[in-house]
Structure 1
Amino acid sequence: MSLEAAFRAQADTCARMGSPFMGQLLRILADDWPTDSALGRKFAAFEGDIGPSGHSLPLRISGGLHALVLSNAAPELTALYPPNSAGDSDLRPAILAALKAHEDFLLDWTDSAPQTNEVRRSAALIAGARVAVQHFDLPLHLSELGASGGLNLMWDHYALEIDGNRFGPNVPAVLFTPDWEGELPPSRTPVIEERGGVDLNPLDPARGDHLLRLTAYLWPDQPDRLTMTRAAASIATAVPTKGEAIDWLAPRLASAPQGRLHLVQHTVAWQYFPAAAQARGRALIEAAGAQATPNRPLAWLSMETDGDNTGAIGAALSLRLWPGDITLDLGRADFHGRWIKWAYKG
């Protein structure tokens, strides 16, 4: 895929997912990307998939531009961002000027993959964890791969509400009300005894510069996502460890305590792991599963793209459980948690 095609594909996806502004922004970048610049040369040097299933270059640069707006570092651009509106004739020169004036900042910003830490994905985690403890009624030892700022490690502080049925605390830090299709999730409430996460570039939501990175990848014309992220950040206590996900996971699998269900979770993170790391991680989890017992079970809960990146059918929700090596198709979820098509029955 060419960079221009990646910009246009991401523009279409964003527009379908309720962000006309992002569609407009990314189409401008597709038309007028400065190829003869340090940014242009950097992006041209990326190898492999540069689209949403790989390096996500369009989201990296759009996130950097939004960071400039949120920090008011580019006032001329800020004046044209939502909640304001602007036509291409005004927005285009402001974007190109920002790319040039803030190139050093953007070169540094785009070193890392997008880190939305989309907190609405916790709606799927709340439901999936309830299935896991329905099978193994034990407190949770929780491990998250690609945890970013750790917001989705805190899902027991949030609540999912479906047709007046609440799953979670009565006074949650964040309340999710996705469009839900299917049966209700199990009623058993998980209890997290210990939680930890890992990320190549972990963020601490209590730090202003880190919170900027988390919020910059939220789409500017979707202020509800910004509100939820800031609410989740206000109660976040599980700052992830810096490191390679599988290197970090290996000793946690080996040292998982008796009397706990070790729940390994990840949401739209696995795609960013190199193929060798994916293979090693799968082998380690399956080997740990083979050693699992009813008093030391293992669960692997994932919300990941499975080849369809149109945004139309979202991510696959899957749960594997050991002992027994049971694989459950839990359904599908919108990448931003707007809807869940729940397939689990039981």
Structure 2
Amino acid sequence: MKPSFQVPMHEDVRKDFLRQSLACSALGSPFTSRVCALLAERLTDESAFGSRILNWPGRSERDALPLRAAGGLNALSRSGLAPALTSAYPPHEVDDETLWAAIAQAIVVHDAFLTGFLDSPPQTNEVARSGTILGGALHLAAMTKMPIDLYEIGSSAGLNLGFDRYAYDLGEGRAWGSDAEGVHIEQIWSGSCPPLDAPLTINARHACDQNPLDPSADETRERLLSYVWPDQTARKARLAAALESIARSGFRVETADAADWVERHFAAPGTKGVVKLLLHTIVWQYLPPDVARRIKLAMEVAGTAATADAPVAWLRAEPDETLGTAAVKLTLWPTGETRLLGRADFHGRFTRWA
């Protein structure tokens, strides 16, 4: 049965899908832009999938509902269980009517699969953001001349934990790192670029996530790849290479609440001659307000105990009031000074250094 188009999407949810459509277009995925627009215009409540979306109990934009829905459809297309949908997805090219017919059929036949996929927020673990992390870490290394103990929250499969093991093409002849891991990242740096010769050494790596993913598991690979927009082949190849690299590395992500984890790790005094660094990228918007408040307080408390020979740092790339890019900020204690290092693309295509 093909869903009717007579029941309008709840206005707020409809707007969120249309906003996501525009964002996907701006971020280089015209196909996912089309999927989000078609869902906004034509989805009804005649399926469990449609009903759950239309009656979403939370804030659909904050909960990344459009990306959950698009991820579920992409996962189904990759599975081969819905041949018509697979045939309508890249690398195939079809018109909107053919694409919607395939989506509508998939909703009817695979309603339970698609509805279940809405349970979890996207875990994109965008590897290209490592270029922004590298720049922030180089700034920190240049400022302190110390090795870094790294603590990352919202780490998913931990792919950005290995940022210093990857090879980078940073534009205008700038390069950093090694091809030994098979992960090559192209990110355009502009502005006052970080010093590529800074003495960067990662002394230890720690990470947590509420739902950490095992990089060696097939189901992890498929889930992460489902959130990569299907017309972005370079992102898919980069993700696959990073999964293999981190699986070999032995780095692992703890299952933990971010606030509990930060409070536990940053309550302990630092090590002399080492920078203790909290890191996160595009995580803050997904944290409940109380969790964010506790992390901020824990870092401020840790900062009061920091010394010049055992500093504490906080590096983050997160959205702010400036639309379209994330603010890259570094706070370093014992002074507690916060610097706006630059602005980064959400998918890691560029960083404009301040």
TM-score range for the pair, normalised by the shorter chain length: over 0.9
Q: Do the aligned residues in 2 keep the contact of 1:293 with 1:323 (CA within 8 Å)?
A: yes
Q: Within 5 Å, which residues of 2 pair with 1:101-112?
A: 101-112=109-120
Q: Distance in 2 between matches of 1:254 and 1:282?
A: 13
Q: CA RMSD for the aligned pairs?
A: 1.6
Q: Do the aligned residues in 2 keep the contact of 1:116 with 1:217 (CA within 8 Å)?
A: yes
Question: Structure 1 residue 12: deviation in Å?
Answer: 0.8
Q: Within 5 Å, which residues of 2 pair with 1:1-346?
A: 2-51=12-61, 54-162=62-170, 163-169=172-178, 171-186=180-195, 187-236=197-246, 237-255=250-268, 257-259=270-272, 260-309=274-323, 311=324, 314-343=325-354
Distance 1:277 1:45, change over 3 A: farther
Question: Structure 1 residue 170: deviation in Å?
Answer: 5.6
Q: How many residues align?
A: 338
Greater Cα offset, 188-197 or 163-172: 163-172
Distance 1:100 1:189, change over 3 A: farther
Q: Distance in 1 between matches of 2:301 and 2:141?
A: 21
Q: Do the aligned residues in 2 keep the contact of 1:168 with 1:189 (CA within 8 Å)?
A: no
Q: Do the aligned residues in 2 keep the contact of 1:141 with 1:256 (CA within 8 Å)?
A: no
Question: Structure 1 residue 103: deviation in Å?
Answer: 1.9
Q: Distance in 2 between matches of 1:198 and 1:159?
A: 25
SS in 2 for 1:264: strand
Q: Do the aligned residues in 2 keep the contact of 1:140 with 1:194 (CA within 8 Å)?
A: yes
Q: Distance in 1 between matches of 2:95 and 2:185?
A: 33
Question: Structure 1 residue 257: deviation in Å?
Answer: 4.1
Distance 1:197 1:27, change over 3 A: same
Q: Distance in 2 between matches of 1:224 and 1:101?
A: 31
Q: Do the aligned residues in 2 keep the contact of 1:69 with 1:77 (CA within 8 Å)?
A: yes
Partner of 2:8: none
Q: Distance in 2 between matches of 1:307 and 1:223?
A: 31
Distance 1:92 1:218, change over 3 A: same
Question: Structure 1 residue 37: deviation in Å?
Answer: 2.6
Q: TM-score, normalised by structure 1?
A: 0.93
Q: Unmatched 5+ residue regions in structure 1?
A: none
Q: Do the aligned residues in 1 keep the contact of 2:270 with 2:311 (CA within 8 Å)?
A: no
Question: Structure 1 residue 308: deviation in Å?
Answer: 4.1
Q: Distance in 2 between matches of 1:47 and 1:332?
A: 33
Q: Distance in 1 between matches of 2:269 and 2:76?
A: 42
Question: Structure 1 residue 285: deviation in Å?
Answer: 0.6
Q: Partner amino acid for 1:36?
A: E
Q: Distance in 1 between matches of 2:25 and 2:66?
A: 14
SS in 1 for 2:88: coil
Q: Partner amino acid for 1:224?
A: A
What percent of counterpart residues are identical? 38
Question: Structure 1 residue 48: deviation in Å?
Answer: 4.3
Q: Deviations over 1:188-215 (max 9, x none)?
A: 1321121111111111111000111111
Q: Distance in 2 between matches of 1:47 and 1:238?
A: 36
Q: Do the aligned residues in 1 keep the contact of 2:151 with 2:207 (CA within 8 Å)?
A: yes
SS in 2 for 1:327: strand
Partner of 2:5: none
Q: Distance in 2 between matches of 1:178 and 1:48?
A: 35
Q: Unmatched 5+ residue regions in structure 2?
A: 1-10
Greater Cα offset, 117-126 or 198-207: 198-207
